[in-house]
Structure 1
């Protein structure tokens, strides 16, 4: 397993360009002050020589520091400009004018120096073409070295290329909400318990994964909802959403039918089940919600944060096949393995930041060596993502602080009520008939 975890601001953008500009701006006064110091020291040296005292170039070190600060400030500005333009170029190449103001792009191109413009175009092209390189190389090497997958490697390469051409895998801000479907869902409470104290709240991503439905041995679990009530009377909710549980099953909302519906922009019974689980737990429109998800759950969480009635402020996904462009008020954390075939369907996500400025993308090549387990998509399972989560939790990267700060207030709740729900798929018309006859519920 690889020990290298890459934490970045977006799929293409590895740095926070605003932070680069702030640092560049802070270096400006330092550079100016060093120039003043150099002039003062040069004057002192001249005076010393006039007095018959030789001092070896007292201003030399100050001039050198001034030059370094000036060059570093200029370099940081250039990097910020390059990454900003590269993000616009990538979005324009992927979505045309849907997500990029043509006038703004033209203005950015005109303002950029030749080297900056060329570097931005190169970065954008390399990112667009290289988004599936790890997974395609993995499957090709597996097919060649292990000889057990037959056409799987080439087929996956064709699939990822088709996904890139079709423009799927990302949900831009201008995309419509989910189309209504012919199915609905019911949820049933499997277990509930109340707790108090700091240990009742997740402190990091490992705690989040350990609370995912099914991790506690409840095979029927699909959604876990925690209600946090504070002494002030305020409350907020945390939802944990499972990944796919079956291939195709009439009664199972978390199956491939739901996967296809969500991936192509249609409402699924699993999405409706999550909404109903939150409602059953007491959440109402406008309530503050944090959403954690795996695989298919990542698509549900993305649309819930983007289009749902709840005030989703945190959206964390593991191995999601899509990434949605979230509003500025949403802290988005996308954790994906570059050799995960499911995460590959997100085509690298967005080039820049999705959500608030503190949002991040976490990537890792979980298992670069070809193995028999590649056929079972082992790197997509929660056990593999738990290893990555542990690396993130122990990271000293300052970009993870925003997630820690978002989770920290949960530990101050007076009472935490945790409820686990199962779910069933239903046809909408039969559910309507049951409601009209007085039966049903959630």
Structure 2
């Protein structure tokens, strides 16, 4: 199992422009200080030589130090320039994405503002525009590679003669998904369709009743395998306010016409922008747990659950401050008030449905994407989707917890804050589609009526009205 994590800001060019520009300014200041020091050292060396020609050897030594300082000054200036160039490239990518959204909305004022910003950046760094184009193209070209490179090993077991076509076919299929715009959810997206009738019921809880202490701890709380589908934790904070954490399961069945909301019907609905029974069940669970519009919510979801929590952040009506997605088939362009943490596996076919995500980063500053190859050895076992399982993603979360990457600091602060809660109430909920009747068992043969000299009393037939059933 590979533990090589690629942690990036997300999108085609994964950098934090604010941090880069601050770092560039720091290197520029350092270069100025070094330049002053080099001048001082050079002047001192010349004065020493003027005072005593016999000090020529010392002058050589001092001048060598001066030349090393000059070299360090040049390196600092080059680093500052590279950092500013990277920031310019990323800002162009972001502004292009904003411009596309403004053009689609017909917002002429926004278009004029964005064009003016682009003009300033390209005037300061004329090469940045071309580098941004190359960066987006490289992202477009390379994101399907992880799954495509493993395709021959999986296909070999089914069709040995066709394995040579596996790489281009897998790459092309993934690119086709991206070409139609599937997998990326814009900030303005809203699920269509009427709410679904669902019933959520508290069930016996499992796992810890304290706040999670780490990302892996949170991932391990996502329900699956039992009756629970949604877990809600309600925190009472020291200042009397309340916050909630919601953990949402992935797909539970592929069987059609079942009462299970977390099925393929909900998968397809969510991926195509339709409201699903599983989404409505999650809203119902939060309501039953006491969450009200505007309350702070931290959302954790796996697979279908990650699609649900993405739309919860976009349109659920809560202050969703954290969105942790594990193996999500989509990436939502959540706003700057939501820290977005996306865990993906390069060899996960379900995560590949996100088509590489947005070209620019999404979420609050400090949001990131963490990706690795979870099951690097291809084979027939890949048909069981081992790279998509919650256990594989929990392991990725453990690797992140152990990482020294600076972006994990905000994640640790989140869990430290939740750990300070004065009380934690935990409820897990099962979910069921309402109004769907299971087929009734075939009736047993009626016994022959006993002979009677008088006629039997008349009985009205019993009629079940499916519209009146609550499905519970």
Q: Same fold (TM over 0.5)?
A: yes
Query: Out of 185, 200, 208, which is 1:171 matched to?
Result: 185
Change (3 A) 1:150 1:413: farther
The reply on whether 1:207 has 2:214 as its aligned counterpart is: no
Contact 2:252–2:263, Cα closer than 8 Å, also in 1: yes
Contact 1:226–1:419, Cα closer than 8 Å, also in 2: yes
Q: Give CA deviations for 1:269-291 in whole Å, capped at 9, x if unaligned.
A: 10000000001111111111100
Shift of 1:72: 1.2
Q: Give CA deviations for 1:43-99 in whole Å, capped at 9, x if unaligned.
A: 111111110133111522322221121111111111222233345557878x79449
Counterpart of 1:345? Answer: 353
SS at match of 1:315: strand
Query: Out of 158, 180, 184, which is 2:193 matched to?
Result: 180
The reply on whether 1:13 has 2:13 as its aligned counterpart is: yes
Change (3 A) 1:59 1:129: closer
The reply on whether 1:227 has 2:240 as its aligned counterpart is: no
Counterpart of 1:369? Answer: 377
TM-score by length of 2: 0.83
Contact 1:195–1:417, Cα closer than 8 Å, also in 2: no
SS at match of 2:235: strand
The reply on whether 1:111 has 2:123 as its aligned counterpart is: yes
TM-score by length of 1: 0.88
SS at match of 1:289: strand
Q: How many residues align?
A: 427
Contact 2:435–2:470, Cα closer than 8 Å, also in 1: no
Q: Distance in 1 between the 2:471 and 2:241 partners?
A: 27
The reply on whether 1:124 has 2:136 as its aligned counterpart is: yes
Query: Out of 279, 282, 285, which is 1:274 matched to?
Result: 282
Counterpart of 2:386? Answer: 378
Give the greater-gyration-radius structure (CA).
2
Q: Distance in 2 between the 1:20 and 1:359 partners?
A: 15
The reply on whether 1:2 has 2:2 as its aligned counterpart is: yes
- Which piece of structure 1 moves more, 29-38 or 319-328? 29-38
Shift of 1:158: 5.2
Counterpart of 1:65? Answer: 72
Q: Distance in 2 between the 1:337 and 1:21 partners?
A: 31
Change (3 A) 1:389 1:226: same
Q: Give CA deviations for 1:156-213 in whole Å, capped at 9, x if unaligned.
A: 55542331121010111233x11123632110110259987xxx11111210121111
Once the two structures are superposed, the pairs formed by residues 28-427 of structure 1 within 5 Å of their partners are 28-52=28-52, 53-54=55-56, 55-56=59-60, 57=63, 58-88=65-95, 97-98=103-104, 101=111, 103=115, 107=119, 110-111=122-123, 113-144=125-156, 147=159, 157=171, 159-175=173-189, 177-181=190-194, 183-192=196-205, 200-214=210-224, 219-247=226-254, 248-426=256-434
Shift of 1:233: 2.1
Q: Please, what is the CA RMSD of the aligned residues?
A: 2.9
Counterpart of 1:431? Answer: none
Q: Distance in 2 between the 1:360 and 1:354 partners?
A: 8
Q: Distance in 2 between the 1:329 and 1:184 partners?
A: 31
Counterpart of 2:446? Answer: none
Q: Distance in 1 between the 2:311 and 2:195 partners?
A: 18
Q: Distance in 2 between the 1:47 and 1:210 partners?
A: 70
Q: Distance in 2 between the 1:157 and 1:39 partners?
A: 57
Q: Distance in 1 between the 2:389 and 2:208 partners?
A: 29
Q: Distance in 2 between the 1:194 and 1:318 partners?
A: 19
Contact 1:12–1:124, Cα closer than 8 Å, also in 2: yes
Contact 1:334–1:360, Cα closer than 8 Å, also in 2: yes
Contact 2:187–2:332, Cα closer than 8 Å, also in 1: yes
Q: Distance in 1 between the 2:270 and 2:367 partners?
A: 23
Change (3 A) 1:346 1:159: same
Q: Distance in 2 between the 1:373 and 1:112 partners?
A: 53
Shift of 1:246: 0.7
Q: Distance in 1 between the 2:297 and 2:24 partners?
A: 37
- Which piece of structure 1 moves more, 335-344 or 71-80? 71-80
Shift of 1:139: 2.0
Contact 1:163–1:169, Cα closer than 8 Å, also in 2: yes
SS at match of 1:361: strand
Q: Distance in 2 between the 1:397 and 1:97 partners?
A: 37
Contact 1:230–1:415, Cα closer than 8 Å, also in 2: yes
Change (3 A) 1:77 1:380: same
Change (3 A) 1:81 1:195: closer
Contact 1:253–1:425, Cα closer than 8 Å, also in 2: yes
Structure 2 runs not aligned, ≥5 long:
437-464
